[in-house]
Structure 1
Amino acid sequence: MAPTQQTTVGYPHIEKLIDSEDFNGLNKAFADAYEKLEKVYKDKKGMGKGKEAAKAMRALEKCSELLKELLKVKYHLKEQIAKQAKK
């Protein structure tokens, strides 16, 4: 029998992150970026920088929410597979 090849949906870094659940580096990067963006937002110097910083902060929040949702899906799928295996 030929070895099975693991399929990917084209996001190997995200898939690896979800599989490993090692978010330490990403959490630090997000926290650092968010802190800098908050500073820019509060300073509001320049043309539209505050507004752009707010958009970027919201994007980081959305990314975090997406990763949490992907973890939920992962656990749900594992649960479903375990139930199917018991049948």
Structure 2
Amino acid sequence: MVSKPGNGYVETAGDMPDGATTWQPADEWVLLEGLSVDIHENGKLIDHGRVEAVTEDGCILWLAQEGIRPRRLVEKLPGTELRIIAARPLP
């Protein structure tokens, strides 16, 4: 499945060439700086980007993106899940 959430073109994990799952859930946001992530809200993919910065308490991060909006603030709220993407490089 291919989605176009927010500012990017995203291939979901099921679309990888070998069919393997190439993501892992991210519970500790303070460790995500520099990593590529997918953002899900209530199980729905809403965006994708590279984590540019995270607050010390790990409750807010800045997501660097492609497109007309170069950054997005993401707050750690109930229902918000980040998935680390290992096999998809960002520009």
| TM-score interval, normalised by the smaller of the two chains | under 0.3
Report which of the two has the higher share of helix: 1
- Relative to the length of structure 1, the TM-score reads 0.24
- Relative to the length of structure 2, the TM-score reads 0.23
